[in-house]
Amino acid sequence: MTLPARPLRLATTDSGFDAALAARLHWSADTDAGIEQAVADILEDVRKRGDAAVLEYTNRFDMQAAAMADLQLKPSELKAAFDGLPPRQRAALESAAQRVRSYHVAQRKASGESWSYRDEDGTLLGQKVTPLDRVGIYVPGGKAAYPSSVLMNAIPAHVAGVGEIIMVVPTPRGEKNPLVLAAAHVAGVTRVFTIGGAQAVAALAYGTETVPRVDKVTGPGNAYVAAAKRRVFGQVGIDMIAGPSEILVLADGTTPPDWVAMDLFSQAEHDELAQSILLCPDANYIEQVQAAIDRMLGEMPRAEIIAKSLTGRGALIHTRSMEEACEISNRIAPEHLEIASRDPHRWEPLLRHAGAIFLGAYTSESLGDYCAGPNHVLPTSTTARFSSPLGVYDFQKRSSLIEVSEAGAQVLGTIAAELAYGEGLQAHARAAELRLKR
Ligand SMILES: NC(=O)c1ccc[n+]([C@@H]2O[C@H](COP(=O)([O-])OP(=O)(O)OC[C@H]3O[C@@H](n4cnc5c(N)ncnc54)[C@H](O)[C@@H]3O)[C@@H](O)[C@H]2O)c1
Ligand SMILES: N[C@H](CO)Cc1c[nH]c[nH+]1
Ligand SMILES: [Zn+2]
């Protein structure tokens, strides 16, 4: 018997609206001291004992393996998985990969190239963009398999020109998902290890006898993975700490209610802690969406998860206007924001904070999860206020370039020496002055 799905009903005219909304949004991964301690212990153990510790934790949490060699996949195995896919699945995977690649190539052209200019005296100033040497991509695999996450992590790394892409993915009970292996083949992953959780993040961050140490770890995962990434940051780079999935639908009442209800389901089905919110100025439309939820829930194989997510964390919010709905959406800064409106471009300029914005009734968020092109690894838990989707730029770094001409040294030397004396740093001042013409 599936529980009913009853998202919290709020109206912005309610006296306690702000507090009720804040309470519904509250989510924090670092409140679980048990997970924090377990992860700290696992990291320390892998750092000290390397392969032996990784093997032990893999046997405890995921699958039986006798040696680390059993936890590495050969390139021929990845290719065989690709060749063995049913033709329609293979075609879908290739089309999705192609679209994700094109998008990220455009992204590199727009913001990922080196640049420089010269002052009138010939001094050159610029920025050199270089790819990371070696990255680790975490592909979640505990409760579900995510071939799309292989593409979303590996393709931007590949487009950035990363030398080696090391993928980790847990395979519970040793069951390998052929689509995940095939995606690694299509996306150009260098090596794959079937390990997961905090032990996989530790192996990538510290290196073991078998797993090479990487420069950065990217990709989503559960609370153990998130806690491990937070702790290894500094030793290696990380992309972000991604929390449970979120969708916010801003509806003016012109999109069929079934479409909106299913879009709310689409993120709720990821996780009991996922968050689905509807903002709408039309009370009657909100009733129609609730009716669609009640009608369609029973058809969903993951109805239990959806019901828990919608009842525990979801909300249907009646606003005074679409303008007010946009203002509240900015406060929430959701991972995914759908503008379910006949006139999406009227509202888009009012929206400042969101991981990804989906415009118009036909732009289902789920298309973005798989194949529209943009990345599906996005900031969650209001962090879209200050962070961006995973992209080519996460796999690159920048070095400043400075070449001062003889004429430039006369101008800059005088300025630098003056400021250096002001700071009491004589060697700095003298280094600048030695290059001045007497
Ligand atoms: N933001 C995104 O782009 C995106 C994409 C896909 C999935 N996700 C999210 O990623 C998450 C994936 O979680 P998952 O659990 O399915 O897979 P996962 O791979 O993140 O975690 C599985 C690992 O957790 C570890 N683990 C489990 N129980 C443990 C315990 N008691 N002690 C220590 N370690 C333990 C195990 O080592 C196991 O390998 C979900 O929340 C999903 O919604 C996000
Ligand atoms: N919606 C997830 C990110 O929040 C990504 C995903 C993968 N597969 C399906 N969905
Ligand atoms: Zn999704």
The answer to whether 185 is a known ligand-binding residue is no
Please determine, for residue 341, whether its predicted confidence score (pLDDT) is greater than 90.
Answer: yes
**Looking at the structure, do residues 282 and 220 belong to the same domain, yes or no?**
no
DSSP single-letter state for residue 362: T
Residue 28 has pLDDT above 70, yes or no: no
Q: Which residues line ligand 2 (CB under 6 A)?
A: 146, 148-149, 245, 267, 335, 369, 376
**Catalytic residue from among 104, 336, 353, 376:** 336
Q: Which of the following is catalytic: 246, 335, 338, 365?
A: 335
- Rounded to whole angstroms, the Cα distance separating 298 from 307 reads 10
pLDDT band at 381 (very low <50, low <70, confident <90, very high): very high
Last residue of a domain, one of 203, 238, 273: 238
Tell me the pLDDT tens digit for each residue of 132-155: 999 999 999 988 899 999 999 999
Whether ligand 1 lies within 6 angstroms of the CB of 336 is answered as: no
Residue 199 annotated as binding site: yes
Kindly state whether residues 44 and 176 are assigned to the same domain.
yes
pLDDT at 31 over 70: no
> 40: Cβ below 6 Å to ligand 1?
no
Cα of 141 from ligand 1 centre, angstroms: 6
Flag whether 3 is in a domain.
no
Check if 323 is active-site.
no
CA nearest neighbour of 192 among 206, 31, 177, 340? 177
Q: 152 with 247, same domain?
A: no
pLDDT confidence tier of residue 27, bands split at 50, 70 and 90: confident
User: Phi and psi for 389 in degrees, rounded to 5?
Assistant: -60, 155
Residue type, 156: P
193/60 same-domain check:
yes
Identify the weakest region by mean pLDDT among 23-37, 193-207, 210-224. Answer: 23-37
Cα 201 to averaged position of ligand 1 atoms, centre (Å): 12
360-383 mean pLDDT = 97
**Ligand 1: distance of its center to the CA of 63 in Å?**
15
Residue range 351-362: average pLDDT?
A: 98
Atom 9 in ligand 2: residue holding the nearest Cα: 369
For residue 146, give the ligand 1 atom closest to its CA.
6
| Residue 323 within a domain | yes
* 58 occurs within a structural domain: yes
The yes-or-no verdict on residue 111 having pLDDT over 90 is no
Torsion sign across C-alpha atoms 387, 392, 398, 401:
negative
**What is the average per-residue pLDDT within 217-237?**
96
**Whether residues 228 and 139 fall in one domain:** yes
Residue 403 CA to ligand 3 centre (angstroms) = 48
User: In this structure, are 80 and 188 located in the same domain?
Assistant: yes
Ligand 1 centroid, distance to 174 Cα (angstroms): 16
Residue 51's pLDDT is 98
Q: Are residues 229 and 311 in the same domain?
A: no
pLDDT in tens, 290-312: 999 999 999 999 999 999 999 99
pLDDT at 30 over 60: no
Is 423 part of any known ligand binding site?
Answer: yes
428 is in an annotated binding site: yes
- Structural domain containing residue 341: 8-27+243-372
pLDDT confidence tier of residue 361, bands split at 50, 70 and 90: very high
CATH number of the domain encompassing residue 273: 3.40.50.1980
Residue 297 and residue 176 share a domain: no
Identify whether 408 is part of a domain.
yes
pLDDT at 275: 97
- From 189, 216, 238, give the residue that closes a domain: 238
335 is catalytic: yes
Scanning 161-282, the segments in alpha helix (DSSP H) are 178-187, 197-206, 223-232, 257-268
Report pLDDT for 243: 87
Query: Ligand 1 mean position to 220 CA, how many Å?
Result: 8
Residues 368 and 304 in one domain: yes
Do 222 and 91 lie in a common domain? yes
pLDDT band for position 112 (cuts 50, 70, 90): confident
Average per-residue pLDDT in the chain?
96
Q: Looking at the domain assignment, is residue 389 inside a domain?
A: no
- Please tell me if the CB atom of residue 143 comes closer than 6 angstroms to any atom of ligand 1: yes
Residue 381 lies in a domain: no
Residue 247 C-alpha to ligand 1 middle, in angstroms?
Answer: 20
Burial of 98 (0-12, 13-18, 19+ CB in 10 A): middle
CB 223 within 8 A of CB 35: yes
User: Are both 221 and 247 inside the same structural domain?
Assistant: no
Report whether pLDDT(438) > 80: no
59 is in an annotated binding site: no
Q: Say if residue 393 carries a ligand binding annotation.
A: no
End-to-end CA separation in angstroms for the chain: 90
The residue whose CB lies within 8 Å of the most ligand 1 atoms, and thus the one to mutate among 61, 272, 376, is: 61
Q: Quick one: average pLDDT of 365-394?
A: 97
Task: Tell me: is residue 270 an annotated ligand-binding position.
Answer: yes
What per-residue confidence (pLDDT) applies to 1?
Answer: 66
Query: In the predicted model, what is the mean pLDDT of residues 70-89?
Result: 98
Judged by its nearest atom, the ligand closest to the C-alpha of residue 193 is 1
Q: Would residue 212 count as lying in a domain?
A: yes
Domain boundary among 213, 238, 263: 238
Residue with the bigger pLDDT between 3 and 95: it is 95
What total of structural domains would you count in the chain?
Answer: 3
Q: Which ligand is nearest to the CA of 356?
A: 2
**Ligand number with the minimum distance to the CA of 270:** 1
**Cβ(226) – ligand 1 distance below 6 Å:** no
Residue 3 is which amino acid? Answer: L
Residue identifier of the C-alpha nearest atom 1 of ligand 2: 369
Same domain, 255 and 178: no
162 has pLDDT over 70: yes
pLDDT of residue 175: 95
Rounded to 10°, the helix 197-206/223-232 angle is 20
Mean pLDDT of 309-327: 98
Ligand 1: atom nearest CA of 274 is 43
Residues 6+ apart with CB under 8 A from 140: 146, 149, 169, 170, 196, 219, 220, 221, 222, 225
Question: For position 242, what pLDDT does the model report?
Answer: 87
Mutation probe of ligand 2 site: the residue of 358, 369, 370, 371 with most atoms within 8 A of C-beta: 369
Report the nearest-CA residue for atom 17 of ligand 1. Answer: 142
In-domain check, residue 18: yes
Please report, rounded to a whole number, the percentage of residues in the chain having pLDDT higher than 70.
99
Report the distance separating Cα 204 and Cα 418, nearest Å.
Answer: 47
Nearest atom of ligand 1 to the alpha carbon of 60: 37
